[in-house]
Amino acid sequence: MVATPRISLEQWRSLLAVVDAGGYAQAAEVLHKSQSAVTYAVQKMESLLGVKVFEVVGRKAHLTPTGEVLYRRAKALLDEAGALEGAAGSLAAGWEPELRLAVEIIFPTWLLLQCFARFAEERPQTQTGQRTGHLAEAAAGACVLRALLDDLKQEKENQPTEDEVADELDAECMRDGCEELRTNRGREQEERE
């Protein structure tokens, strides 16, 4: 049985924010929390683990060697937690957790690997694999992969562009008479340019 973690993802997120933002006050702004809440989260983590994560040099807190290791591992942990949630979303949307193809031995390996790589970029949550088989099995497997790649392409093409979303917002503003929303959108666009 796996031991229950003593440190929450939120505490690890606080540690990352302090390092990435450059201090407790800046981390508090990024996390939309009070500075005391961020400080408490990091201090509680240090207490529970029995290590010092930061050392104060002058007026600046720097990671200790132990803190550097924890920072790298926390980053990987939060990335994996995000990937896990993404995988759950894909499964909820109907994607299979695994894709296995039968491939004829004469099928070009480089092309198969290219297809798998492209598919993995689009759906990293789906595991892919292959086995060498007879021509009929391989043809069916290639058809499945082609259909999946076509579905992904169609899914991307059906996503509205930024301009289409902006046009829809403009139309909505005209219908609702919402001049303020149009003004704010104009400011946002100017800031981007």
pLDDT of residue 168: 57
Q: 10-residue block means of pLDDT along the chain (193 residues)?
A: 85 94 92 94 94 86 93 94 84 77 77 83 76 54 62 65 56 46 54 59
Which strand (E) or helix (H) includes residue 172?
Answer: helix 162-176
DSSP for residue 97: S
Cα 5 from Cα 46, distance rounded (Å): 14
Classify the phi-psi angles of 25: left when phi > 0, otherwise alpha if psi is within -120 to 50, otherwise beta.
alpha
Burial category of 108 from C-beta neighbours within 10 Å (exposed 0-12, middle 13-18, buried 19 and up): exposed
- Residues comprising the chain, all counted: 193
Q: Which pTM was predicted?
A: 0.54
Region label for 51, one of left (φ > 0), alpha (ψ between -120 and 50) or beta (otherwise): beta
